[in-house]
Amino acid sequence: MARRGRFVVLEGGEAVGKSTQARLLADRLDAVLTREPGGTRLGERVRAVLLDRSIGPVEPRAELMLVLAARAAHVAEVIAPALAEGRDVVCDRFDGSTLAYQGYGRGLPLVEVRDACAVASGGLEPDCTVLVDVHDSVASRRRGRDPDRIEAEDAAFHDRVRAGFRELARRPRWVVVDGDATVDVVAERVASAVAGVLGDAGVRSAP
């Protein structure tokens, strides 16, 4: 029987370099690379809606339900099957982002958000979550000139999200990596952090 694959998630706020690091880590692990919201046809449609500034403000619980509808499809269609086949999976965002953005950021009760996440994911939890963290001033400089709906939120919102992530990182199997360095340096930090949680097996050195 094939071993169950390992599920690794990269988390962080806007413009921290998380997506780049997820791709580099997936290459190291020879893993399935996917993202949230997204990863499926439904998920990508939901992502487009969530990031579209033209729709204006979205009621927080409606936003939460959109995120979780995409997650339910993502887990069922992509993540769970890959893990069952013994493939490692690296995901750009998962439950941590939902708690940080819709919980800490939007102010929804954390218990309510956590319970809803468990329903959407069928109880699936990452084996390792890496929080890529940079100072707000660094992230602000990295953001583009045409921000999406989430990037365009005010500084207070992004402060709450970052504080939420740092609180979540106190949990087991979470590690924090300083993202304020070159891409290659951060990639080594991420690989080392993942190896520290999962063990060295399969976390090969960069070519």
Residue 202 confidence (pLDDT):
59
How far is 204 from 191, CA to CA, in rounded Å? 8
C-alpha 161/C-alpha 25 separation (Å) is 24
Residue 19 predicted with pLDDT over 90: yes
What is the mean pLDDT of the segment spanning 46-75? 97
pLDDT of 50 higher than 90: yes
How many CA atoms, within 13 angstroms, populate the side-chain half-sphere of residue 62? 7
Q: What is the pLDDT of residues 102-151, one digit of tens each?
A: 999 999 999 999 999 999 999 999 999 999 999 777 767 766 678 999 99
pLDDT above 90: residue 10: yes
Confidence of residue 205 (pLDDT cuts 50, 70, 90): low
Would you say how long the chain is, in residues? 207
Residue 4, pLDDT score: 92
Q: Quick one: angle between helices 60-74 and 41-51, nearest 10?
A: 160
In the structure encoding, which two tokens stand for residue 41, read together? Answer: 């046809």
What are the Cα distances from residue 175, in Å, to 41, 59, 83, 168, 191?
A: 31, 31, 22, 10, 11
Half-sphere exposure of 204 (CA within 13 A, CB side): 9
pTM given for the model: 0.94
Whether residue 112 contacts residue 168, with contact meaning beta carbons closer than 8 Å, is answered with no
Secondary structure of residue 132 in the 3-state scheme: strand
Q: Is residue 206 over pLDDT 60?
A: no
For residue 77, give both structure tokens. Answer: 């269609």
